[in-house]
Amino acid sequence: MELPKEFIKRIKEDLPNQAEQLFATIEAANPITSLRLHLSKPHQLTWEYEAIPWVEKGYWLNERPVFTLDPAFHAGAYYVQESASMLVDAVLKKLPPIQRGLDAAAAPGGKSTLLANHLAPTGWMIANDVVAKRAEILKSNLDKWGNSRVVVTNADLGQIRATGQVFDCILVNAPCSGEGMFRKDPESSKRWIPDLPKTCANMQGEIMADVLPMLAPGGHLIYSTCTFARVENEFRWQWLAAQGLEPINLDFPEHWGFLDVHDDFPQIPAGMAYRSVPGISRGEGFFICCFKKNGSSTAFPSAKSVKEQQSLGTIAIELDNGLTLKEGKKGVLNIGTENQLIWSQEADKQLQILRSGTEAGQWQGKYFVPTHALALAADLQLDVESMSLSKQMALWYLSRTNFQPGKIPDGHFLLTYNQLPLGWGFNKQGQFVNCLPASEKIRMQV
């Protein structure tokens, strides 16, 4: 791989002690594969792995399997994510549980799942992406993860700001020049031009202009990129500090292998920002820091926390931890906290909401038709007939191949693989009907 000359020159100036190792690692083009297991979906890895020390149930794999042909992947049992970006979890562990969270540029959703893991018992969050196609991918991934307290929006941040909602934790994994991904995505280096970091920095400034007014007093802002450019990283840190925000000491352990930005940019105090450098750190390029807004923490309204039973046709649902069920547009039933569902209902008049919580389904005459998201919800207790599938049958189901799984229950029933729900089947006069959405279909040969 031939790296851009201007990129090489700048890295030698900014990271003189790491430059040659970084270049050699990028040119070797041997990215690391890593993933995180869901904290509450049962699954055991069958591949060789090594634990990642800065995130719970995170693992490096010795080789990259074909995830598409693993039914557990489609069940949301794990999320394939670059290991350095999982540092978001290490930052979140230093902060209070999230009452109101915002992932401002969330697609494809890996960091949103980390925020969701750190919600307070009655908290909820918004995962947003301004690009429609990316927002659809975001919704699909968060439906698989199955947390009912996550809203997905496809909106300009100014539209979210206009709703008046404030947040005690905002993550801005900023759209950037992507220099840290050159090893993982060699084509990205061909799209790089010298002015790209400055262009991205200007866009990041526009994002901040919308984000900072939405940060509640006493709230925390996590800022990250996957680039090495100072104009997008160090200079942005200085700009945030100049806005009166208080930097948070991250103090990552040295054995994790990340570089304290202070060592090459002493204007930032030690422990306040870190970077991952491929070949030195065990991950792709990444930069992360965290700030706190001055003021007393906002008192967010609490949600009721009583158990609630709902019967939807042949499906019984037990709701707990502040979750409730509310009818939305076109008779669709959604599950989330009361405050979350009320906000979604009102905000839907101003912006595009793709997911108000877990979409449960809707009544069609006397029959209730459940959604794929309901099958994969990890925080709901479903009492419904189920049927276990072998791996081959699970792949037939996921590829929508015609097959009969044997004697099937009446009505809608849950199909599972190794105790993991995969989706719904339906008994139509004794014949099996595959209810997997076409958008979730495996298109690879199974």
Collect the ranges in the chain with pLDDT lower than 50: none
Predicted TM-score (pTM) of the model is 0.96
Q: What is the pLDDT of residue 145?
A: 97
Q: What is the pLDDT of residue 419?
A: 96
Task: Give the sign of the dihedral formed by CA 42, CA 46, CA 47, CA 51.
Answer: positive
Q: Say how far apart CA 290 and CA 245 lie, in whole Å.
A: 9
Q: Are 423 and 375 in contact (CB under 8 A)?
A: yes
Q: What is the pLDDT of residue 321?
A: 87
Strands, sheet with 358-364, edge to edge from the N-terminal-most edge strand: 323-327, 333-337, 358-364, 367-370
Cβ atoms within 10 Å of 399's Cβ, excluding its own: 18
Q: What is the pLDDT of residue 305?
A: 65
Q: What is the pLDDT of residue 304?
A: 63
Q: Say how far apart CA 75 and CA 150 lie, in whole Å.
A: 18
Among residues 121, 116, 122, the alpha carbon closest in space to that of 150 is found at 116
Q: Are 344 and 328 in contact (CB under 8 A)?
A: yes
Q: Are 274 and 285 in contact (CB under 8 A)?
A: no
Q: Three-state SS across the chain?
A: CCCCHHHHHHHHHHCCCCHHHHHHHHHHCCCCEEEEECCCCCCCCCCCEEECCCCCCEEEECCCCCHHHCHHHHCCCEEECCCHHHHHHHHHCCCCCEEEEEECCCCCCHHHHHHHHCEEEEEEEEEECCCHHHHHHHHHHHHHHCCCCEEEEECCHHHHHHCCCCEEEEEEECCCCCHHHCCCCHHHHHHCCCCHHHHHHHHHHHHHHHHHHHEEEEEEEEEEECCCCCCCCHHHHHHHHHCCCEECCCCCCHHHCCEEHHHCCCCCCCCCEEEECECCECCCCEEEEEEECCCCCCCCCCCCCCCEEEEECCEEEEECCCEEEEECHHHCEEEEEHHHHHHHHHHCCCCEEEECCEEEEEEECCEEEECHHHHHCCCCEEECCEEECCHHHHHHHHCCCCCCCCCCCCCEEEEEECCEEEEEEEEECCEEEECCCHHHCCCCCC
Q: Say how far apart CA 348 and CA 326 lie, in whole Å.
A: 14
For the chain, the first-to-last Cα distance in angstroms comes to: 34
Tokens of 212: 């900072």
Q: Which residues contact 104 (CB under 8 A, 6 or more apart)?
A: 128, 157, 170, 171, 172, 173, 207, 211
Among residues 438, 392, 383, the alpha carbon closest in space to that of 414 is found at 383
Q: Say how far apart CA 362 and CA 334 lie, in whole Å.
A: 9
For 376, what's the count of Cα atoms within 13 Å in the CB-facing half-sphere? 29
- Longest Cα separation, the chain: 72
Q: What is the pLDDT of residue 102?
A: 98
Among residues 99, 87, 105, 268, the alpha carbon closest in space to that of 171 is found at 105
Tokens of 442: 């495996």
Q: What is the pLDDT of residue 329?
A: 85
Q: Say how far apart CA 24 and CA 35 lie, in whole Å.
A: 25
Report all structural domains of the chain as residue ranges with CATH numbers, in order of start: 5-32+83-292 (3.40.50.150)
Q: Are 115 and 99 in contact (CB under 8 A)?
A: no
